[in-house]
Structures are given as C-alpha cells and as structure tokens.
C-alpha cells in the first residue's frame, strides 16, 4: 500500500485561482455564445456588430475557443482533485487557446474598435496563463502530487 503525499498549500492556491480565472473564461464564452445583450453591450461596438463579428469566425476557431475554455475549467477541477489528467486537460486548453486566439490575432478582419490595448494584451495573457498552468500541472505530476 502506497501513501499519498499530502496536498501542498500552493496546489490549493493555484487550483482555486485557476478555477476562478478559467471560470470567468467559461462565463465569457457562455455570455458571448448566447449573445447576452447586457454582457456584449460593454464592448465598444453595438451588440449587433459584435455578434456579426463573432459569427464571422470559422468553425475551427469556434471549436478551438470552446476547447480552450472548457478544458481549462476541467483542468482546474482536476488539479484540485489531484488527478494527473489535469495535465492533459491543460494541454488541450493551451492548444485551443493558441489556435483560437492565433486566428483572432493573425487572420481575423477585426473592427478597429476591437484592436490594440486590452484587446491585444489580454489574449497574450490568456495564452501565457494556459502555458503556466500546464507547466505547473506537469511539475506536480512529476513530483507525485497528482495521481
């Protein structure tokens, strides 16, 4: 019978912070995909133009966005449950983020109101956080914290 290592405090901190961070990503995804008028009205474009822009993305970008968001939420939950599959979930999340955000930053014909500033910085932050969560989960698995 093998003894399981105790859960380090940093795992709870990272796990809970990642769940909040990725939970907001899920909220953003849901509000955007359901065309929530109150939520979308906070953007600098009229809601109809925002919806038209979102709907113009190719299917692969939409699938990648969903994969990135929901695998990140799942990865956070698995991390808190100390499951090794958190690594897989965070890996898929990173792939989804890179593909979805990559399309948006490189190929999308964006309205000028959705460029620069927070619209450029935030996607980069999202990819960096996804990468850091994957690396963290990999380290915890290697250390025997995740089973």
| Tens-place pLDDT, residues 30-61 | 999 999 999 999 999 999 999 999 999 999 99
CA–CA separation, 88 vs 138, rounded Å? 9
Distances (CA, A) of 120 to 5, 62, 72, 114, 133: 41, 18, 21, 9, 21
> Rounded to whole angstroms, how far apart are CA atoms 63 and 59?
6
pLDDT of amino acid 110: 87
Alpha-carbon span 129 to 18, nearest angstrom: 9
By C-alpha distance, which of 21, 24, 3 is closest to 79? 21
pLDDT digits (tens, 9 = 90+) for 71-111: 999 999 999 999 999 999 999 999 999 999 999 888 888 88
Radius of gyration of the chain from its Cα atoms, rounded to whole angstroms: 17
Residue ranges per domain, the chain? 9-142
What is the residue whose two structure tokens read 């980069």? Answer: 124
- Token readout for 147 is 């089973």
């Amino acid at each position: 019978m093998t003894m399981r290592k105790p859960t380090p405090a940093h795992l709870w901190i990272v796990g809970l912070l990642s769940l909040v961070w990725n939970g907001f990503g899920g909220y953003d995804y849901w509000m955007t995909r359901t065309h929530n008028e109150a939520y979308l009205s906070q953007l600098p474009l009229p809601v109809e133009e925002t919806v038209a822009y979102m709907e113009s993305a190719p299917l692969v970008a939409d699938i990648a966005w969903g994969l990135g968001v929901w695998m990140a939420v799942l990865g956070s939950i698995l991390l808190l449950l100390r499951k090794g599959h958190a690594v897989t979930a965070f890996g898929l999340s990173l792939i989804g983020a890179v593909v979805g955000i990559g399309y948006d930053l490189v190929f999308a014909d964006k309205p000028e109101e959705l460029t620069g500033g927070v619209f450029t910085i935030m996607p980069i932050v999202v990819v960096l956080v996804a990468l850091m969560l994957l690396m963290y989960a990999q380290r915890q698995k290697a250390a025997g914290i995740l089973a």
